[in-house]
Amino acid sequence: MKIIVTGSLGNIGKKLATMLVAGGQDVTVVTSQEKRRAAIENLGATAAIGSVSDATFLAQTFAGADSVFVLTPPALGGSDVIANTANAGKAFAEAFKTANVKRVVMLSSIGADLPGGTGPIEGLYHIEQAFRQLKGINITFLRAGYFYTNYYNDVTLIKTAGILGSNLPGETLIPLVHPQDIATAAAEELQQSGNGTHVRYIVSDYRTAAEVAQALGKAIGKPELPWVPFSDEQFVEGATQAGVPAEMAHLYADMGAGLRKGAIQSDFAKTGATVTGTTKLEDFAKEFAGAF
């Protein structure tokens, strides 16, 4: 099979491309950076250099493909994030039609069923809606949980303040996911023909924020590590002081508020909150400790 992987060699793309190549598939990895070419080719894949917002480039790359994995880079452009993400989705949709693509697997997110109040996830809502208008394409939306790896961003907070926290209380249940579990699910879907439009949640564990602090704290030798809830204002102030652009800080605050209210995880819970990933919180905690 000829399979296109967008998203370059990030946390998911590298794992996914490696699995597909090992399975004997003809894999092309899309990246915007020429410097990534050698690393892609070393995996046994072909590199396609260009922008995911360029419909002409995408159509040329997708020509003759059996399936395409769609991953839009986070924080496209650093500003106007939602609009840029939505526009990338439009470019993908146009390219699918031009190249006559029949099978698409898109990395989406919990909360992508909602039109707003979800922070950066809102961009994925717009892409899902655009893809749903396409005819003759079998599409799977992989709605992933909150990435475990996001907690690496809190290493400085833990080391300097001795706490872990966000703008949600400790009892908030968070669907969590490991990039390896996403890559495994994506590889499985990409090698199947699909049947219409389908949503598949990929979640590795479903735990409270306080349990996250407890597990990570225990793994790094700080068993009393507390989860500290912040107000939305405190979260934005802390994020911007840490160097996060103001627009992104507010978007992340909106996402935290969406989790706090239970809106983002609502549809996942309604479907039965089935955890299918294999990497549990305590497994990730060991990885976290190794990098701490």
Q: What CATH number does the domain containing 19 carry?
A: 3.40.50.720
- The reply to whether 15 falls in a domain is yes
pLDDT in tens, 11-24: 999 999 999 999 99
- Check residue 73 and give its pLDDT: 78
- The reply to whether 137 falls in a domain is yes
pLDDT surpasses 80 at 77: no
- The reply to whether 167 falls in a domain is no
- Check residue 53 and give its pLDDT: 87
- Check residue 78 and give its pLDDT: 64
Strand partners, 206: 175
- Check residue 72 and give its pLDDT: 87
Residue 140 domain boundaries: 2-145+178-202
pLDDT in tens, 117-143: 999 999 999 999 999 999 999 999 999
**Which has the closest alpha carbon to 170: 236, 249, 230?**
230
pLDDT in tens, 157-168: 999 999 999 999
Q: What's the token pair of residue 278?
A: 């294999």
**Separation CA 138–CA 51 (nearest Å):** 24
- Check residue 79 and give its pLDDT: 80
Strands (DSSP E) contained in the chain are 2-6, 26-31, 46-49, 67-70, 103-109, 138-144, 146-147, 164-166, 173-177, 197-202, 205-208, 227-229
**Which has the closest alpha carbon to 203: 284, 122, 268, 289?**
268
Mean pLDDT of all residues belonging to the chain: 95
- Check residue 75 and give its pLDDT: 62
SS3 of residue 183 by DSSP: helix
- The reply to whether 210 falls in a domain is no
- The reply to whether 253 falls in a domain is no
Average pLDDT over residues 96-115: 97
**Separation CA 218–CA 68 (nearest Å):** 40
Looking at the 3D structure of the chain, how many domains does it have?
Answer: 1
Question: Do 199 and 291 form a contact (C-beta atoms < 8 A)?
Answer: no
pLDDT surpasses 80 at 263: yes
pLDDT in tens, 142-157: 999 999 999 999 999 9
CA 122, 182, 260, 249 torsion-angle sign: negative
